[in-house]
Amino acid sequence: MTEQLLTVDDLRVSFHTRSGENQAVRGVSFRVGAGDTVGIVGESGSGKSVTAKAILDLIAEPGEIKSGAIAFRGESLRGLPAKKWRSLRGNRIAMVFQDPMTSLNPVKTIGFQMAEVIRRHRGLGKDAALKEAAEMLRKVGISEPERRIRQYPHEFSGGMRQRVMIAMALSCGPELLIADEPTTALDVTIQAQLLDLLQRLKEESGTAIVLITHDLGVVAKVCTRVVVMYGGMVMEEGSVEDIFYRTGNPYTQGLLRSLPKHGGAGRERLVPIEGSPPDLIDPPPGCPFMERCPHAFAKCKALPPMFGLGEGHASRCWLVDGKETLAQALAEGGEAR
pLDDT of residue 87: 86
| Contact status, residue 68 vs residue 47, Cβ threshold 8 Å | no
pLDDT surpassing 90 at residue 200:
no
The pLDDT of residue 332 is 82
Range of the domain at 94: 4-336
- Mean pLDDT is lowest, of 22-31, 200-209, 240-249, for 200-209
Average pLDDT over residues 142-157: 94
Whole-number pLDDT of residue 99: 75
Three-class SS of residue 293?
Answer: coil
CA-to-CA dists, residue 236 to 87, 200, 205, 252, angstroms: 34, 28, 29, 7
pLDDT of residue 334: 63
Please report, for the domain that includes residue 37, its CATH number: 3.40.50.300
pLDDT score of 91 more than 60: yes
Q: What percent of the chain has pLDDT over 70?
A: 95
Looking at the structure of the chain, the number of domains it has is 1
Quote the CA–CA distance of 152 and 92 in Å, as a whole number: 27
Inform me whether the pLDDT recorded for 337 exceeds 60.
Answer: no
pLDDT at res. 64 = 96
The pLDDT mean for the chain works out to 90
Question: How do residues 292-301 score in pLDDT, each as one tens digit?
Answer: 999 999 999 9
The sign of the dihedral angle between the CA atoms of 312, 241, 176, 113 is negative
Chain centre distance of CA 18: 28
Bond into 62 cis (ω within 30): yes
